[in-house]
Amino acid sequence: MKNIVLFGPPGAGKGTQADVLKTKYNLVHISTGDVFRFNIKNKTDLGMLAKSYMDQGDLVPDQVTIDMLKAEVNNNPDARGFIFDGFPRTESQAASLDEFLKEKNTDIKGMVALEVPENLLVERLLNRGKTSGRADDQDESKIRNRFNEYMTKTAILKDYYQKQGKYYGVDGVGSIGDITSKLEEVIDNL
């Protein structure tokens, strides 16, 4: 199975690239942010819980997120592999994912990270907020808090995967097509 973690700070372009890559490699795309937003829209208990964190730009608690992710994977028993987008975001999530995939006799082939400077990210997110309807994209203080969560809890995952020899950084500045090509060069060899 080709399981990939598509990594990068908020606004790096993970969702956009995952949409292209899932078709090219025939993988199931799981975006934990999208699953939470779907639950919020449908007013489920999970959605209500997640909303209180997401509205502030805080991370949703690990156990809630991990249980949800496992359910999404288990709902796709015929998948040839997964693109994990927005997950893992903490070391505990990464360790749970490794353990869970091991039980299924598979693993993460690589973490492919989109590297984009922060000033460009804020600009991209504020622009996205004009059309996405996402409350967490419309307020600069919430965006800053999401970066803070990223820097304090998520960025360390680079080390986590680097130690396993699985980290691949890709320059995330440029046209969508050029960035896709660079990602494909990495993913083709995983």
* E strand spans, 105-178: 108-115, 167-171
Look up residue 154 and give its amino acid.
Answer: T
- C-beta of 188: minimal distance to ligand AMP in Å? 25
Stretch that binds ligand AMP, among 20-28, 49-57, 103-111, 177-185 (CB under 6 A): 49-57
By the rule CB under 6 A, 147 interacts with ligand AMP = no
Nearer to ligand AMP, 13 or 110 (CB): 13
By the rule CB under 6 A, 36 interacts with ligand AMP = yes
Of residues 6, 46, 60, 112, which one binds ligand AMP by CB under 6 A?
60
Nearer to ligand AMP, 63 or 75 (CB): 63
By the rule CB under 6 A, 65 interacts with ligand AMP = yes
Residue 112 CB partners (closer than 8 Å, separation 6+): 4, 5, 6, 7, 168, 170, 183, 186, 187
Are the C-beta atoms of residues 140 and 46 closer than 8 Å to each other?
no
Helix axes 118-132, 140-149, angle to 10 degrees: 130
Concatenated DSSP letters for 36-79?
A: HHHHHHTT-HHHHHHHHHHTTTPPPPHHHHHHHHHHHHHT-TT-
Question: Interface mask (CB under 6 A) for ligand AMP, residues 109-138, using x and -?
Answer: ---------------------------x--
- C-beta of 93: minimal distance to ligand AMP in Å? 6
Residues making contact with ligand AMP (CB under 6 A): 10, 32-33, 36, 53-54, 57-60, 65, 86-87, 89, 93, 136, 146
